[in-house]
């Protein structure tokens, strides 16, 4: 699959991010077939050229064609983008796989970890698409609010695939003069970063909601990055991924940006609102709420210490008081800043050694 061979792109999911990517690709000249879950929204997109549910006020390009069936979105499409919430990813993917063309490229733009299996989306995909080794799985992640992308504001993301050639081909499809795409082979790193940053954003929002200052937020983001990296390395990720766009870049955006749904949920929790009431008022999914449970149990399974993520889980699912959770963090045993980070340093040391060997060989 090269950029010139792609004429139609399938987008599975018509939330704000799916719609933004559909518009971006349509503006590049591709015909974009988009699967829409809600029949009434499908009609609105077709007739009003607007996503009235998830991205109101944004004109949808005429080359974006909405559908409520999977086949028109997947059959005869060499590139298919999965942009559905993580808790329905398996169900939707099971319906997509049978329609995929041979040698199709699937780009996953979903950030989350499945609750029951503790699998990232690539893990879910491997289970469902077993026997379809001809299909190439990629992951797209990075600091990217949908509303800023549709405004064509400069945005930079990363696209990962174990097959670097396929990553580079997909890179060409998505890249524009305002949407810059880097490539990577670290799929699991992108996925862990994209999932954990939403959990940390809930904590950052809660601290802001309780009226804590910039000092608190900066400390939370920094220690959150350490937790994200720690879990990622335990999962086999490359440590440098967490210092890049999918890691620190997306973490900063989600913890500080007013457009962040996860930060907004955390902010309201910090102000004393109940989780059920907050979620009832939201149309779009705050992935961090469900992911907090997955991250908590995944960390326990792997024996990885994630104190911030653990307290987010307890606030969400065990009715812990956010203020007491902060005091619990502050009152932990005093220690060296790098006590728990030796695995990170060892991984980075291996990377440096590999670079030195590579340079010596040349």
Catalytically annotated residues: 197
Cβ-based neighbour number of residue 138 at 10 Å: 27
Q: Which of 11, 30, 181, 185 is nearest to 109 (CA)?
A: 11
Total count of residues recorded for the chain: 362
- CA dist 223 and 229 (Å) reads 10
Q: Which of 241, 230, 245, 248 is nearest to 189 (CA)?
A: 241
Greatest Cα pair distance, the chain, in angstroms, is 61
- CA dist 302 and 233 (Å) reads 11
Q: Where are the alpha helices (DSSP H) in 175-321?
A: 187-209, 214-234, 250-256, 261-270, 275-280, 287-302, 307-317
- CA dist 239 and 148 (Å) reads 29
Task: Write the DSSP string, 31-79.
Answer: EEEEE-S-HHHHHHHHHHSEETTTEEEEEPPTTEEEESSSHHHHTT-SE
């Amino acid at each position: 699959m090269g950029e010139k061979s792609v004429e139609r792109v399938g987008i599975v999911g018509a939330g704000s991010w799916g719609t933004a990517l559909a518009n971006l690709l349509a503006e590049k000249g591709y015909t974009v077939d988009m699967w829409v879950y809600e029949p009434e929204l499908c009609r609105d997109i077709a007739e009003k050229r607007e996503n009235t549910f998830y991205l109101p006020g944004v004109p949808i390009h005429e080359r974006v064609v909405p559908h409520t069936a999977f086949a028109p979105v997947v059959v005869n499409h060499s590139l298919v983008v999965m942009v559905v919430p993580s808790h329905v990813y398996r169900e939707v993917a099971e319906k997509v796989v049978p329609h995929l063309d041979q040698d199709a490229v699937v780009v996953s733009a979903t950030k989350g970890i499945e609750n029951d299996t503790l699998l990232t989306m690539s893990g879910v995909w491997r289970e469902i698409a077993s026997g379809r080794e001809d299909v190439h799985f990629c992951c797209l992640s990075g600091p990217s609010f949908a509303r800023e992308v549709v405004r064509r504001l400069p945005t930079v993301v990363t696209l990962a695939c174990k097959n670097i050639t396929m990553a580079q081909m997909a890179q060409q499809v998505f890249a524009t003069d305002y949407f810059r795409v880097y490539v990577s082979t670290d799929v699991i790193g992108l996925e862990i970063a994209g999932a954990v940053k939403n959990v940390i954003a809930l904590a950052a929002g809660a601290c802001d909601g309780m009226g804590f200052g910039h000092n608190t937020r900066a400390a939370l983001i920094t220690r959150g990055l350490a937790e994200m990296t720690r879990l990622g390395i335990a999962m086999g990720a490359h440590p440098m991924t967490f210092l890049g766009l999918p890691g620190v870049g997306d973490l900063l955006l989600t913890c500080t940006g007013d457009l962040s749904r996860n930060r907004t949920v955390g902010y309201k929790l910090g102000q004393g609102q109940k989780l059920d009431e907050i979620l009832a008022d939201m149309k779009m999914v705050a992935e961090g709420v469900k992911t907090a449970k997955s991250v908590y149990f995944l960390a326990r399974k792997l024996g990885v210490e994630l104190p911030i993520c653990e307290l987010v889980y307890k606030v969400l699912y065990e009715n812990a008081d956010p203020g007491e959770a902060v005091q619990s963090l502050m009152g932990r045993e005093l220690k060296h800043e790098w006590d728990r980070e030796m695995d990170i340093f060892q991984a980075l040391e291996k990377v440096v050694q590999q670079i030195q060997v590579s340079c010596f060989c040349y």
